[in-house]
Amino acid sequence: MQKTFLALAALSFSVPTLAQEPDRLSAIADEALTGDTIAWDFVEGITTEVGPRQAGTKAEARARDWAMAWLKAQGFQNVANEPFEMETWVPGDTHSVEILEPFPQPFVIQPLGNSASTGTLGLTAEVVEFASVGDLSAAEDGSLEGKIAYISHQMRPSMDGSHYGFAGPVRWFGPSIAASKGAVATVIKSVGTDNSRNPHTGGTSFPERTTPIPAGALSLPDAANLERMFDRAGERPITMRLVLTPKLLGTTMSGNVVGEIVGRDPSLPPILLACHLDSWWNAPGAFDDGAGCGIITAAAQHVARTGQPLRTIRVLLAGAEEVGLWGSKAYSAAHIDEPIAVGIESDFGADRIWRFESNFRETNEDLHMRLANSVARFGVANSSIVASGGADLNISRDQGGAIIDLQQDGTRYFDLHHTPDDTLDKIDPVQLRQNVAVWTQVVGLLANEPNAIKKGDPLAN
């Protein structure tokens, strides 16, 4: 059973502050490496009791209620739901695809967020193949009139997840480009690295003057099959029947869940720890991002065990990240005049942290090096890469403030990302605890840093 916040506050009067006893923080971080149960408790609980939590829906509202109750039970103060409105897209009840000619067979598909419906009767059209989004962009205007565009890519696993930036435009912009060329629909090779017959969904976008078209992602094995069909078909057209029935619900409510470990000096800007609470409809979101919320809340709790920190530690469990960073934008708009000392986010699964990055290595080298050196014992390397922050740290970017990235091993992340396979059993408890240990060490030092986090930045004082 976890101590209540009152018990933790009482403990702070009998235990020296971290500024006086830094070894206590290191000891508690080391304990978390082998003994933390808080992060697992969060991700196990939300995936079991709530499950999939699509932004703007009743399921996401249940997740907010669950998270607020959990934070209060863990002793967090000032727990609240900060609501905001959003335009809500849902996937609908029917999604299917089949090749009619010349090699008839069904494939597996999932609709892409913000895409349009084919109607329940579906549509049938010839498919045109593009090896990349660049090839699609080069197609002549009007050349896809009445046709379905198929877009491929060559994404590969990478430790730092860099191939997501390489392949992501296929999903992010491919359907809108196809629409501008006259296509009636788009299917893409899932932006992922697995070989399961589980498509990877995710959001797409259409510029203001581009009418959305139906768009879906094929599983990677089905995409490979379709490409073999193109190789074998020769001059024969490949005809596809596509049924996707997503719909817009209009304006609904979402919200950000916040909570705090209150610091001793309210005049100092807080440390902001972020994750996102929503998931896509097709998975309970264990990796993306239940684990991240478990990691940041566990770290805050472990720091509180050392005594009341100097600075407040605020956790932000953002809503509606997957469908357009609605929660991140809403939080920044609501709190832009409240300086944040430093922002950190966990939103890249649950595998081990291997690299430390900040955006103040040059402006506050001493602090950067103290933080980097403090986590070297957990197998975390220092880096000169400038941290840019996770999706839910808009406020830190908007304020021009300090940011830290604790980079996780993403080698298998895109096997699971936005698929039905994003489930609790995929989390390795040992690696999850390593995340908590690293976060505890970093957050504990930051929360007890009396000086400016980022030199020369007035918002970080």
What the chain holds in terms of domains, given with CATH numbers, is: 5-89+250-460 (3.40.630.10), 94-245 (3.50.30.30)
Tokens encoding 31: 């304990």
pTM of the full structure: 0.93
Angle between helices 291-305 and 429-447 (to 10 degrees): 50
Between strands 185-189 and 148-151, the pairing is parallel
Q: List C-alpha distances in Å: 376 to 303, 343, 382, 383, 442.
A: 19, 21, 8, 12, 11
pLDDT, averaged across the chain: 94
Alpha helix (H) ranges present in 36-151? 38-49, 58-73, 133-138
pLDDT digits (tens, 9 = 90+) for 413-434: 999 999 999 999 999 999 999 9
pLDDT, tens digit, for every residue of 67-112? Answer: 999 999 999 999 999 999 999 999 999 999 999 999 999 999 999 9
Other C-beta atoms closer than 10 Å to the C-beta of 30 total 15
Q: What is the pLDDT of residues 186-215, one digit of tens each?
A: 999 999 999 999 999 999 999 998 999 999
Above pLDDT 90, what percent of the chain? 92
- Residues sharing a CB contact under 8 Å with residue 445, sequence separation 6 or more, in sequence order: 18, 22, 25, 370, 371, 374
pLDDT digits (tens, 9 = 90+) for 287-314: 999 999 999 999 999 999 999 999 999 9
